[in-house]
Structure 1
Amino acid sequence: MTSPAPLLVVGDALLDHDVHGRVDRLAPDAPVPVVSGPRRASRPGGAALAACLAAADGRPVTLVTALGDDPASRALRDLLAGRVDLVELPLTGDLSSKTRVLVDGRPLLRLDDGDGRAREATEAARRAIAEAGAVLVSDYGRDTAAVLREDLALAAARVPLTWDPHPRGGPPVPGVRLATPSAAEAHTLATPSAAEAHTLAHTDTSPTADHDLHTAAQDADRLVHAWHAASVAVTLGGRGALLSHGGTPLLVPSPVTADGDACGAGDRFAATAAGLLADGELVETAVRQAVHAATRYVAEGGVRSDAVDAGRAEPRAADRAPTGDALRTAARVRAAGGTVVAAGGCFDLLHAGHVALLQAARRTGDCLVVCVNSDASVRRRKGSGRPLVPEADRIRVLRALECVDAVAVFDEDTPERLLAELRPHIWAKGGDYALARLPEAALVESWGGQVVLFPYLDGRSTTGIAERAALTPGRAAR
């Protein structure tokens, strides 16, 4: 497998702070909540967050941004050291920073400081753009893109350029490969002139889900033409993204519903898409995998996750189930006093016997984590002709089952290492296994867990299905 291609990120860096606490009472002098036990953390924001997320994918990243001599700029330099290469522009004023106060993981208040802006371009920044093989512009409306606009326009005609816009910034340069506004940003940026607004005033604006998609599609189409962009992907939060080249759009839905802190999800989407375009992928492929990456990012904790620092988004294996997601699901259920159930297998050619096992297993507890053999593991166990269905597709089908809460992949022949991390209360297997044949039984019992066999539906097996499918009509008749 080739290494991920380098990416140049151009945009406005921010310094972000999160203050986590709890609220037990209101202040005696005003009806406002009192946040107790605050825990503070600082992290890169804006274009700096996008650059770090791209670097977390294992690709070399250079960040062109404006920094000064103020405390926030110095703190951000320290956070970026060793993670991305910096090309600095001069900054007028103090670096912008924002502070979120969160209670139970939900924002209560936000404070914004600093109004610094990029003052001018430099030869080093121009040279970095001229030599880049792919560019992501992360525009937060603080003039980095504005002072380098001519250079970015030349780059757009030469290499894949992704532009993540902001209503306070300028429009993307003509010829961008992909622009990635959120639905709210797209609607603001595509707001028609007064004459067009008069015509649209007679259209149906009822706030239905279908209308939201209709509005997003109209906005994307307008922006493709107004910006002379090759494509626009309007991100729709938990619903996925709507990709338009002008005309009928492509809806790319989220693979699962992710409930978590969405701060930075747009940066994760843009960084993944830009990186994949740098690798030579098609726009449709880049957007689909970017939706998966943003969904995982939110599910795994967003900006509070290790993915901001050193995690791997694995954009070329977007359907591989992250072990962290399964571990967090198990930990959450265990902390609430629930029962964690795990089931394992190859699940090649998922059939009624598999589904019956998983449904029965889920009914015995409060969550079901499915442990799936990787392709290499299946080949070692079943032979060179297996699996019949590749790992990514097996995972996707399993995730679609209502009874499955999380999926994790293991590369070994047996899942002991993964089970030792999950520590389920119940390890479920089909009734065609005998307890003596399960090497993981002793491990599960070591922490008080229980191995349970479930009746298997007669006549259902992947091998049997494959053999029957291989028969020619003439042989089948005999």
Structure 2
Amino acid sequence: MTRQRPLVVIGDTLLDQDIDGTATRLAPDAPAPVVEVRSDHSRPGGAGLAAWLAARSGNEVVLITGIGEGEAADRVRAALSPAVHLVELPYTGTLPVKTRVMADGRPLVRVDRGHGSPGPPGGQVRAVLREARAVLVADYGRGTATAVRELLGDVARRVPLVWDPHPRGGPPVAGARLATPNAGEARTLAAAGHPPGGTGGDALRDHGRRGARLAEHWGCAAVTVTLGERGAILARPGEDNPMYVPAPQIAPGDPCGAGDRFAATAAGALADGALPEEAVQRAVGDAARFVADGGAAAPGLWETPAPDATAGSGPRETPDARTLAERVRARGGTVVATGGCFDLLHAGHVGLLQNARRVGDCLIVCVNSDASVRRLKGPGRPLTPVADRVSVLAGLGCVDAVAVFDEDTPERLLRGLRPDVWVKGGDYTLDELPEAVVLREWNGQALVLPYLDGRSTTELARRAALSPTARQASR
């Protein structure tokens, strides 16, 4: 097997620390909340987080960064080493540590310690950049991008280069394929660089104009301005009609790391040959799911990805399905699941999914694999391969996660997800549902919801095969 050329991440690595607890009283000597600590977790941040996320998506990743020596540096190396290859720059000083003190998941204060300066790159850095299939610059304004900058102009002419800028850092190099500031950064960078068009306004057209003028000012092929739960705007130099990509779901949760998730997905997509429009669409969806799953502090995010995580003929359980179920249960919510082939998504399916989502706090859709559909429906089915069926379902606002199963029924998958409620359409009865028996193992409930009459994949396929005249007569 040919070794995959790496996705190279360049930038400032930090150590992020979350001290979480409860705050029910004020200190006797000052009007300050007293936090009773329940947990204390640390993890790589900055470019280290971006590199880890890119590796979890199945990329071979090399991280070019400065880390230095000390306890914080050792923690970062240990956390990244299972999946990310480190190429370290000379480093003077101590690794920055950002500590958030949280009360019931809400930040109260952040304490920053440590400061270091990266030195010039050596021959190993040049060799890695020659082999890169794409480069992501995760600039946190602490000097790494500046140290390597003279090498990046040539890189941008050869492979896709994504630049995640910071107001304290330098501008992206000319020729970058995509720059990814958030709305606040774009406004600050526009004011600092004084490109024509001003810096005010929060309408989509204002963000689009800022993005287009920044792209022209920087000499980038495109700029996407990320807008949090609103999605993102993709603009090109001098363009008056940018592309708006709305978020597929409103994702309440900790947004820490969402920008790194966005940039890592976009860089990986461009490395695989996607257009910027395609890369941004994938990145918006991944960032929304990342926040919904708990952000950088999500359980399971820092588990080492399996070497064969991307192997096989098609998708299996999405990485967030089980994590989502555990997180919703942990906060006392209701996990709802439904399942089926969903070969040709039609109005009956959509109505069922929307109603199912209203039953609880999240909806996980269990989808038959291609082999499972063939066994159940016969030759010629499925009409739509499983990767496309998963993509369409995941794009619905009422669907929070999708999982794929190979068996004739999803019983084994359900034992892993343990939903509180299993939902099927009205063309079934509870007595016909083998899943109802499985759910009783953990006191779950099976429900049958009304189904929109006259809609079925089989009927749609039959009508599609008719001549236009016969199709009209069959209505």
The TM-score bracket by the shorter chain reads 0.7 to 0.9
Q: How much does 1:428 deviate?
A: 3.1
Q: Which amino acid aligns with 1:328?
A: L
Note the alpha carbon deviations across 1:159-191, whole angstroms, 9 max, x for none.
Answer: 211111111111111111111111111111111
Judging changes above 3 Å, is the alpha-carbon distance between structure 1 residues 423 and 56 closer, same or farther for their aligned structure 2 residues?
A: closer
- Work out whether residues 328 and 362 of structure 2, in 8 Å CA contact, stay in contact via their aligned partners in 1: no
5 Å matches for 1:411-450? 411-433=406-428, 437-450=432-445
Match of 1:240 among 231, 235, 240: 231
Judging changes above 3 Å, is the alpha-carbon distance between structure 1 residues 161 and 450 closer, same or farther for their aligned structure 2 residues?
A: closer
Partner of 1:51: 51
Q: What is the distance in 2 between the residues matched to 1:253 and 1:319?
A: 24
Q: Which amino acid aligns with 2:459?
A: G
Partner of 1:37: 37
Q: What is the distance in 2 between the residues matched to 1:134 and 1:405?
A: 30
Q: What is the distance in 2 between the residues matched to 1:99 and 1:118?
A: 22
Q: What is the distance in 1 between the residues matched to 2:47 and 2:86?
A: 12
Unaligned stretches of 5+ residues in structure 2: none
5 Å matches for 1:46-445? 46-191=46-191, 200=198, 211-246=202-237, 247=239, 248-305=241-298, 306-310=300-304, 322=318, 324-325=320-321, 328-329=324-325, 332=328, 336=332, 340-355=335-350, 357-358=352-353, 361=356, 368-391=363-386, 394-395=389-390, 398=393, 406-433=401-428, 437-445=432-440
Judging changes above 3 Å, is the alpha-carbon distance between structure 1 residues 273 and 319 closer, same or farther for their aligned structure 2 residues?
A: farther
Judging changes above 3 Å, is the alpha-carbon distance between structure 1 residues 70 and 23 closer, same or farther for their aligned structure 2 residues?
A: same
Q: What is the distance in 1 between the residues matched to 2:340 and 2:400?
A: 16
TM-score w.r.t. length of structure 2:
0.87
Q: Which amino acid aligns with 1:409?
A: V
Q: Which amino acid aligns with 1:276?
A: A
Judging changes above 3 Å, is the alpha-carbon distance between structure 1 residues 375 and 104 closer, same or farther for their aligned structure 2 residues?
A: farther
- Work out whether residues 347 and 372 of structure 1, in 8 Å CA contact, stay in contact via their aligned partners in 2: yes
Note the alpha carbon deviations across 1:169-214, whole angstroms, 9 max, x for none.
Answer: 11111111111111111111111677968xx59xxx5x6xxx4322
Q: Which amino acid aligns with 1:415?
A: P
Q: CA RMSD in A?
A: 3.2
Q: Which amino acid aligns with 1:128?
A: V
Unaligned stretches of 5+ residues in structure 1: none
Q: What is the distance in 1 between the residues matched to 2:468 and 2:427?
A: 30
Note the alpha carbon deviations across 1:365-392, whole angstroms, 9 max, x for none.
Answer: 6655432223443233223422334445
- Work out whether residues 327 and 421 of structure 1, in 8 Å CA contact, stay in contact via their aligned partners in 2: no
SS at match of 2:267: helix
- Work out whether residues 166 and 181 of structure 1, in 8 Å CA contact, stay in contact via their aligned partners in 2: yes
Q: How much does 1:269 deviate?
A: 1.0
- Work out whether residues 72 and 97 of structure 2, in 8 Å CA contact, stay in contact via their aligned partners in 1: yes
Q: What is the distance in 2 between the residues matched to 1:76 and 1:367?
A: 34
Once the two structures are overlaid, the 10-residue window that deviates more, 428-437 or 233-242, is 428-437
Q: What is the distance in 2 between the residues matched to 1:78 and 1:439?
A: 46
Once the two structures are overlaid, the 10-residue window that deviates more, 57-66 or 320-329, is 320-329
Count of paired positions: 467
SS at match of 2:403: strand
Judging changes above 3 Å, is the alpha-carbon distance between structure 1 residues 254 and 456 closer, same or farther for their aligned structure 2 residues?
A: closer
SS at match of 2:191: coil
Identity %: 56
Q: What is the distance in 2 between the residues matched to 1:390 and 1:164?
A: 35
1:20 aligns with 2:20: yes
TM-score w.r.t. length of structure 1:
0.87
